[in-house]
Structure 1
Amino acid sequence: MRLLFLAVLRRHTGNAVTAERVRDHLEAAGHICLLKDAFDFDSPSDVASLITAENLQAALALHLYRGGRLLQGHRVPFGIIFGGTDLNEDAQEEEKSRVMGRVLQEARFAVAFSESMKEMAQRRWVDPVFTQEVKAIVDRAPGVRLMPELPQEDLHAVVKNCRAVVNSSVSEGMSAAILEAMDLEVPVLARNIPGNAALVKHGVTGLLFSDPEEFVQLAQRLLSDPALEKELVANGKEYVRLCHSWKAERDVYRHLVGKLEGNSEE
């Protein structure tokens, strides 16, 4: 099958890495997958022209609003992959939320990376300013450096030389950084928000903190307790192997894209 896959493809971001991985899964199954940056299109009509020109038979989009809205009203069936921005940011805006609801009505299937994301979506339907705020805070924080985007292999090399990976996000869908750290056998400290708590079991696969004071306490505990570090690393590695298997993910996407060839919905 000839597929269009729309995603936001800023280099070295979680979205781009996820999109490349999913494309690999689909192409390994024998499909032709045309991966395009959703920001390259101004309207659904632009996408319609591409679908016709490339003789595409089905489509997939990462993010309901950023990508999915561009697939509405076309002759080809499509599926959707939720992103954290969908549920944590875009869904808070009334007009975007309405658009996302209409996209879900047309989609043959929707993929959520965690149970918490799925539940949020079910309850609700059945960014430059933020970046500047972060940079300003980092500039005032002694001992903290803001690094530019890194190629994946360079990032992994840096992570392997760290004592721990900290995820302090206030909004997450499925954190690739957390899963990569676990797979690289580096302990994880993460803010206790639904997206992170869906991946990190406190005291088992990592440590969850709710405020700066708790973070300091847990970080000191981790640094002073080699046995705890060893246990978290082993459990995190096993969690990724069992619950986020690359092969299992590939099989799921093969199965879901197969649904685009029929009339079934999920």
Structure 2
Amino acid sequence: MRLLFLAVLRPHTGNAVTAGRVRDHLEAAGHVCILKDAFDFESPSEIAGLLAAESCEAALALHLYRGGRLLQGLQVPFGIIFGGTDLNEDANQGEKKQVMDRVLEEARFAVAFTEPMRERAQMYWPHAKGKIYVQSQGIATMPNAAFSWTCFLQRSDIKQSADNLRVFLLVCGLRQVKDPLYLVDAFSEWHQEEPSVYMVIVGPEVDPVFTRKVKARVERAAGVRLMGEMPQEDLHALVKNCSALVNSSISEGMSAAILEAMDLEVPVLARNVPGNAALVQHGVTGLLFADPQEFIQLAKRLVSDPVLEKELVANGREYVRSHNSWRVERDTYQQLVRKLEGAAERGGSPRPGQTPRDSPAQSIGCQLQP
């Protein structure tokens, strides 16, 4: 089957990585998956032309609003993968919510990364309860063996001896929902007390206006560094060398960076928001903080307690290997897309409000949770 896949494809972002991985899953089953950036299109009519030109029989979108809005009203069956901001931010905005209502009515299925995400979606769209499934992101890390930690420290203008150095790494695109400045002042104060601790923020410049604000603030903050985006293999190697992975987002769907850190056996310090709390059990698989002051308290505890660090690392690694299987993710998406294939053979997408005769809830394997 020829399948169009719409996602926001900013390089080195979580959405782009997830979209690339799902595309690989589908192509491994023999489908042709044409991946396009949703930001390159304005309306469903443009997508209709693309579907015809590429002879696509079905479609998939990552993010109910950004990608899904482009598929509404088209005569092809499609599925949706929730992103995080669609549920946490866009669903609270009236006009966007109306668009998302219509998209989810037409979708053959929708995938949420966590049970709390599914519960939130069902709260907004009770009518869609039978078509929303939970499938965690599959994690596979590949650190670049040639990555030089010493060269990275030099580029970051960190002159502290590597023997005593403690680097806390915040991986995020520079946009407000990721709140990269949340910990800057508190961390800077800690650095002035203890010069061996640094916070490094790494990620793409997503919002130009906000990026300028971040750069200006970081320039004035002792012990805080800002680095640009990195290839995934280099980023994995960087995470492996750090003392902890930090997440300070205002809201999250499922943070791949957190899961990758767990897989790489690096402790996690995450802001206590629902998306993070769904992954991190405080004191077991990582540490959750409610404010910058608690972050500093927990970070100090982590660097002074090697037994705690060892326990968090072991439990985090086991969590990812038990809950974020790359192979289970592959099986799930291959099964779901078979439903699109069957719908395409019968003549396209159901009308809004119509229940498909063979809803995925009736026949998908046990790894999915309808």
Change (3 A) 1:144 1:183: same
Q: How does 1:134-213 map to 2 (within 5 A)?
A: 134-213=214-293
Name the residue aligned to 1:82.
82
Shift of 1:77: 0.2
Residue of structure 1 in register with 2:12 after alignment: 12
* 2:315 aligned partner: 235
Cα offset for 1:92? 2.1
C-alpha deviations, 1:96-140, integer Å up to 9, x for none? 011011111000000000111111111122253655554454344
TM-fit CA distance, 1:80: 0.2
Aligned-pair identity in percent equals 76
Q: Indicate which of 341, 350, 357 corresponds to 1:261.
A: 341
Question: Comparing both chains, which one has the higher relative contact order based on Cα–Cα distances under 8 Å and sequence gaps of 6 or more?
Answer: 2
SS of corresponding position for 2:35? strand
Q: Within 2, Cα distance between the matches of 1:102 and 1:209? A: 37
Say which SS state the counterpart of residue 61 (structure 1) adopts: strand
Q: 1:132 to 1:120 in 2, by over 3 A?
A: farther
SS at match of 2:279: coil
Shift of 1:85: 1.2
Which protein shows a greater Rg?
A: 2
Work out which of the residue numbers 302, 324, 327 in structure 2 matches 1:222.
302
- Over residues 72-95 of structure 1, what are the superposed CA-to-partner deviations in whole Å (9 max), with x where a residue is unaligned? 111110000001110122122110
Q: Secondary structure at the match of 2:225?
A: coil
- State the alpha-carbon separation in 1 of the partners of residues 305 and 125 from structure 2: 45
Q: Secondary structure at the match of 1:203?
A: coil
- The change in CA–CA distance for 1:21 and 1:115 in structure 2 (over 3 A counts) is same
Separation in 1, partners of 2:85, 2:252: 8
Query: Mapping of 1:17-32 within 5 angstroms?
Result: 17-32=17-32
The one-letter code sitting in structure 1 at the alignment partner of 2:260 is: E
Q: How far has the Cα of 1:157 moved from its partner?
A: 1.3
Could you state the TM-score of these two structures normalised by the residue count of structure 2?
Answer: 0.70
Determine the structure 2 residue equivalent to 1:2. 2
Secondary structure at the aligned position of 2:34 is classed as strand
Identify if the C-alpha distance between structure 1 residues 249 and 150 changes in structure 2 by more than 3 Å, giving closer, same or farther: same
Counterpart amino acid of residue 106 in structure 1? E
CA distance in 1, matches of 2:96, 2:42: 16
Match of 2:33 in 1: 33
Matched, 1:54 2:134: no
Determine helix, strand or coil for the equivalent of 1:190: strand
Distance 1:196 1:89 in 2: 16
Root-mean-square deviation (Å): 1.4
Deviation for aligned residue 1:29: 1.1
CA distance in 2, matches of 1:132, 1:57: 43
- Aligned partner letter, 2:40: D
Q: 1:90 to 1:132 in 2, by over 3 A?
A: farther
C-alpha distance in 1 between matches for 2:223 and 2:94: 40
Q: Secondary structure at the match of 1:53?
A: helix
Query: What corresponds to 2:180 in structure 1?
Result: none
SS at match of 1:223: helix
TM-score by length of 1: 0.96
Unmatched 5+ residue regions in structure 1? none
Alignment match, 1:108? 108
SS of corresponding position for 1:110: strand
User: Matched residues in 1 for 2:262 and 2:296: separation?
Assistant: 21
Greater percentage in helix: 1
